[in-house]
Amino acid sequence: MLEADSIVNAQRGFLGASTPTMEEEEEDEPLIDVSQEEDEELQGSAGCCYPTGTGYRFAVLVLICLTSLGSYFCYDNPAALQKEIKNDMGVDTTTFMLLYSLYSWPNVVVCFFGGFFIDRFIGVRWGAILFGALLLIGHYIFAVGAFVNEFWVMEAGRFIFGLGGENLQVAVNAYAVNWFKGSQLNLVMGLGLSVSRAGSVFNMNIMEPIYKQLREHYSGHVCLGLTLFIGGITLIFSQYCTFQLAWLDKRAKRILKPKTDLATGEKISFKDIKDFPISLYLLCLICVGFYTAIFPFISLGLVFFESKYELGSGQAQILNSLIYTISAVASPIFGFLIDRTGRNLIWTNAAILLTILGHALTAFTFVNPYVPVCIMGGAYSMLASSMWPMVAMVVKEHQIGTAYGIMQAVQNLGLAVFSIIVGVIVDSDGYLILEVFFLGCLCVALISGILLYIFDAKVDGMLNLSVAQQKLRFDRDKTVEDTKEKEIMT
Amino acid sequence: MDSSSRLLVVVLGILAAGLADATDRTLDAYLNPGCPTTSCTTFGVNPPYANNLVYIRSEVVNVTDAKQYRIFWSTIGAPTFIITEVSPTDPKDIQLAWNDFLEDHTPEGTYFTLYGGRYAGIEFAKLIEYDDVNNTGQITDANDTRLYYLDRNTVHWLNVTLIQEDDGNLLANLTALITQENVQFNLTIQVRAHPGDGRAAQNPRMLFTPSSVNAVHSEDISISDEYSPGIFTVERVGGTDTYVQWRPIVYTKVNPGVSDSTRSHTGPLLPINNTMDWTNHTGWGLPYSLLGGLNGILDNGTTLMRFNVSFGITDDDYYNSTGFQEWSCELGVGQPPIDVVSKNVKLIIAIGFGIPAVLIVIAATYVGYLRYKKRRENRLTLLTETTTTNYQTLTD
């Protein structure tokens, strides 16, 4: 349950989406003033300080990744300090798990509205800053709760943390789509997953040593509170990144304003949601089906590996974390490959098929468990890098935040419900039936992927185009837009 | 350490079916058949403590050559459970010298005769309790253990409760109070005889069918834990056609889930001789029990082995935190039943893989058709444009 929840949100970074509401009225107010002289000086140049330059885009990429780092780090603080929290706060496992439930369940709804809120009202820059601030405040309330030995305060803190967590990822993904759509979006998504995994692993390895170090001077809940205060430093850093990102984005908008001023004039409304293409909902089904077979599997994997393969707890732990470890390395690689080949839908369906193979090997054979786990780790990276960018291909630009929000909401709902169901299945029917259940979920994902393949072919969509074909399509669309723009100007 | 609230439950299945349809086999139970002495119904200083010997005839009616079985559940001395196959044409009943067995008992005496063929038996001779201070699941200090001999001085059995269950199983609840050095705890052995093929209703839901020799301890690993969640292994001690088998799991709660369990560990098989000191409980002979009084038990044709099964593993906190543990095993003659993947699972897998496979074929065909159609349309458009151009050229 714990692990599953952590994964639910581990995905946040990628799933979230964002919307290119750079033209929002509020965002026209300068966040940080950039002098007109500087603008003029930069215009026409193509150096590293010019927004379309490699250096500038690289800086944005780094900031996008770092913005989510703190969120992932602090999200799993309770898991890293599970024993300490239970001992120092005197709570049992069920009460402890509330710290995750209070994050997850509200997000079934909240991230949908968060995406819409960003699309419709505040835009991506203020969205990132606002939701980042909620994370920061929520985490420090959580830490204060521990410090003063009040568990309900900790719970309140986690709830506020959850209000920001998912939505920050929506904003971060909005930045990613705004800056990298049509070029290296798959790679950026892959890198985001990689950094988030690194944040989780970093947290798991560092928080307990910090606690132990502090315990030499402090004890009990005070020590716990101070440890959480220190963990919150990553969020302060991430919040700084949201300001930096906003500044770079604002500056880019100013410099590039003449070229983009008329590009987006539409705003999303609730009516638009009913007109979302069926492709989006098929993507939601893929998302739920696939992640149900990954995250709950990891959360229950430790005992499974110990039972079926008779591994020691240390080795089972290594095996169980291997999917994440592989994803931290493989996601950018797959992102890069998908950027070179296109055909995201084929990659996604291949990832589902590979995961089916991995689970089938785990369920019906005694093949060395490292084989199926490595297959699943690779497939997980492949899917994360290929599926999330497809959302940006099936909805209009001003709907991207809401679309990602819907997808995340459905994913959160699916994982929250299925995490409970898989626990019941294991207790009553064992791991073989659980594996069969996972295979069933993957079959649903595969069926959705195949239907999406048919649908995309029928409507002449972009999901399965090669890079060259995508470029032709972008150029064609741009020509149409330019023509419209000229007509309006005339 | 006050152990009064602790409870150990051993669930034992006695298997005696399989060659006949379940509905054809009957289980007729008798309590202390032919016992002429009042010692059978009252034993010890506080009635209703009693000696219990449940005798069951497992027979197939209307089939002349079907196998017949005799089953014995005894709490006279160490609790003992025996199943034997008898000739279908000359099925004989129990012969037990009750008076000698109960009152004039000597270690070397034989009081009980089994007729017929092969038999399998299991006896629980002692319980060892240790304080697992380091939570390692292992005895770290041999001096810090309590040894409970399941003999007539330590264990006081209540009157057995026999229940005929709806599915035809015969259930006996054998409950005892164990008292030694001011420590008391409860021991319950639930034992079932099954009239046919099937599966136990409680976890681990072991498969049963009916049923010498160099006994061996073996482990079978299966891909299925469908009927014993979290446990893929079956441990077995047996010869060519008798066996005792169990899943290496110990439940720490009534109606348990996977998390309410810990593992059992089986020690090596060791020989038994008849050098036991009955007064001081030294040596590794057969204690006072139905098995110990069995005629021919120490003959060369019989294989006797002893082994320890320990409950708990490192860091499981299992005993002190729950005060309850339940371990199950089954005993039978014939080939042990082996779990396989159920038909339902196979059906689900076939459907689960079948639908996407069919869809993949349909999708590939459909998309191929769309591409062909599009290419054809493009070609026609090109042809039309060319023709028009040529026509125009001609008219110009």
pLDDT of A5 > 60? The answer is no
Please tell me the predicted confidence (pLDDT) of residue A95: 75
The DSSP bridge pattern shows strands B53-60 and B126-130 to be: unpaired
- pLDDT tens-digit map of A146-167: 999 999 999 999 999 988 877 8
Chain A partners within 8 Å of B353 (Cβ): 439, 443
* A312 touches B at CB < 8 Å: no
Please tell me the predicted confidence (pLDDT) of residue A210: 92
Q: Are A426 and B230 an interchain contact pair (Cβ–Cβ within 8 Å)?
A: yes
Please tell me the predicted confidence (pLDDT) of residue A323: 87
Output the CA torsion A425→A426→A432→A435 (10° steps).
Answer: 70
Q: Are B352 and A450 an interchain contact pair (Cβ–Cβ within 8 Å)?
A: no
Q: Are B229 and A363 an interchain contact pair (Cβ–Cβ within 8 Å)?
A: no
Max intra-chain CA distance, chain A: 75
Please tell me the predicted confidence (pLDDT) of residue B387: 66
Q: Are B228 and A430 an interchain contact pair (Cβ–Cβ within 8 Å)?
A: yes
* B136 touches A at CB < 8 Å: no
Q: DSSP H helical segments within A261-399, as ranges?
A: 270-274, 278-292, 295-309, 313-341, 344-364, 370-394
At B362, list the tokens.
Answer: 């349909």
- pLDDT tens-digit map of B115-171: 767 888 888 888 888 777 777 777 777 777 778 888 777 788 888 888 888 777 888
Please tell me the predicted confidence (pLDDT) of residue A7: 33
Beta-carbon contacts below 8 Å between A and B: 82
Q: Identify the weakest region by mean pLDDT among A327-336, B96-105, B361-370.
A: B96-105
pLDDT of A38 > 80? The answer is no
pLDDT band at A4 (very low <50, low <70, confident <90, very high): very low
| Interatomic CA distance for residues A160 and A163, integer angstroms | 5
CATH topology of domain A47-257+267-483: Growth Hormone; Chain: A; (1.20.1250)
* A307 touches B at CB < 8 Å: yes
- Tell which B residues from 296 to 355 touch A, by Cβ distance under 8 Å: 341, 345, 348-349, 352-353, 355
The rounded radius of gyration (Å) of the Cα atoms in chain A is: 23
Chain A partners within 8 Å of B357 (Cβ): none
| Interatomic CA distance for residues A236 and B286, integer angstroms | 73
Please tell me the predicted confidence (pLDDT) of residue B167: 75
Q: Are A433 and B226 an interchain contact pair (Cβ–Cβ within 8 Å)?
A: yes
What mean pLDDT do residues B35-41 have? 71
d(CA B266, nearest CA chain A) in Å? 15
A380-389, B115-124, B286-295: which is most confident = A380-389
The overall average pLDDT reported for chain B is 76
What mean pLDDT do residues A241-253 have? 87
Q: Whole-model pTM?
A: 0.76
d(CA A441, nearest CA chain B) in Å? 9
* A7 touches B at CB < 8 Å: no
Q: Are B229 and A428 an interchain contact pair (Cβ–Cβ within 8 Å)?
A: yes
pLDDT band at B373 (very low <50, low <70, confident <90, very high): confident
Tell me the three state secondary structure of residue B277.
Answer: strand
Helices A400-458, B343-395: crossing angle, 10 deg rounding: 70
Chain A partners within 8 Å of B372 (Cβ): none
Closest CA to B32 of B47, B45, B44, B50: B50
Question: Of B264, B342, B367, which to mutate for an interface test with A (greatest number of A Cβ within 10 Å)?
Answer: B367
Please tell me the predicted confidence (pLDDT) of residue B132: 76
pLDDT of A104 > 80? The answer is no
* B205 touches A at CB < 8 Å: no
Q: Are A426 and B229 an interchain contact pair (Cβ–Cβ within 8 Å)?
A: yes
pLDDT band at B349 (very low <50, low <70, confident <90, very high): confident
- pLDDT tens-digit map of A301-347: 877 888 888 888 778 878 888 888 888 889 889 988 998 888 999 99
* B366 touches A at CB < 8 Å: yes
Name the closest residue on chain B to residue A451, using Cα atoms: B363
For B281-348, the three-class secondary structure string (H helix, E strand, C coil) is: CECCCCCCECCCCECCCCCCCCCCEECCEEECCCCCCHHHHHCEEEEEEEEEECCCCCCCCCHHHHHH
Name the closest residue on chain B to residue A434, using Cα atoms: B226
pLDDT of B262 > 60? The answer is yes
Chain B partners within 8 Å of A302 (Cβ): none
Instruction: Tell me which of B35 and B89 has the higher pLDDT.
Output: B35
> Domain map of chain B by residue range?
25-340, 345-385
Q: DSSP H helical segments within A148-184, as ranges?
A: 151-180
- pLDDT tens-digit map of B200-256: 666 656 655 544 345 567 777 778 887 888 888 888 887 777 888 888 888 887 777
* A86 touches B at CB < 8 Å: no
Find out whether A7 and A298 touch, Cβ atoms under 8 Å.
yes
Q: Are A450 and B356 an interchain contact pair (Cβ–Cβ within 8 Å)?
A: yes
- Could you list the beta-strand ranges (E) of B87-169: 95-96, 112-113, 119-123, 126-130, 145-149, 155-157, 161-164
- pLDDT tens-digit map of A412-455: 888 778 877 888 888 778 888 899 999 999 999 999 999 999 89
| Distant-in-sequence contacts of B148-153, Cβ < 8 A, 24+ apart | B148/B178, B148/B180, B149/B78, B149/B125, B149/B281, B149/B287, B150/B77, B150/B78, B150/B79, B150/B124, B150/B125, B150/B126, B150/B178, B150/B187, B150/B287, B151/B77, B151/B78, B151/B281, B151/B287, B151/B288, B152/B43, B152/B76, B152/B77, B152/B288
Question: Of A431, A434, A453, which to mutate for an interface test with B (greatest number of B Cβ within 10 Å)?
Answer: A431
- pLDDT tens-digit map of B194-210: 877 666 666 656 655 54
pLDDT of A125 > 70? The answer is yes
Name the closest residue on chain A to residue B231, using Cα atoms: A307
| CA A354 to centroid of chain Cα atoms | 22
Chain A partners within 8 Å of B371 (Cβ): 457
> Domain map of chain A by residue range?
47-257+267-483
Please tell me the predicted confidence (pLDDT) of residue A261: 41
Name the closest residue on chain B to residue A363, using Cα atoms: B223
Q: Are B348 and A363 an interchain contact pair (Cβ–Cβ within 8 Å)?
A: no
Question: Of A285, A306, A454, A464, which to mutate for an interface test with B (greatest number of B Cβ within 10 Å)?
Answer: A454
ipTM: 0.74
pLDDT of A193 > 70? The answer is yes
pLDDT band at A290 (very low <50, low <70, confident <90, very high): very high
pLDDT band at A15 (very low <50, low <70, confident <90, very high): very low
pLDDT band at B318 (very low <50, low <70, confident <90, very high): low
pLDDT band at B2 (very low <50, low <70, confident <90, very high): very low
- Tell which B residues from 239 to 258 touch A, by Cβ distance under 8 Å: 257-258
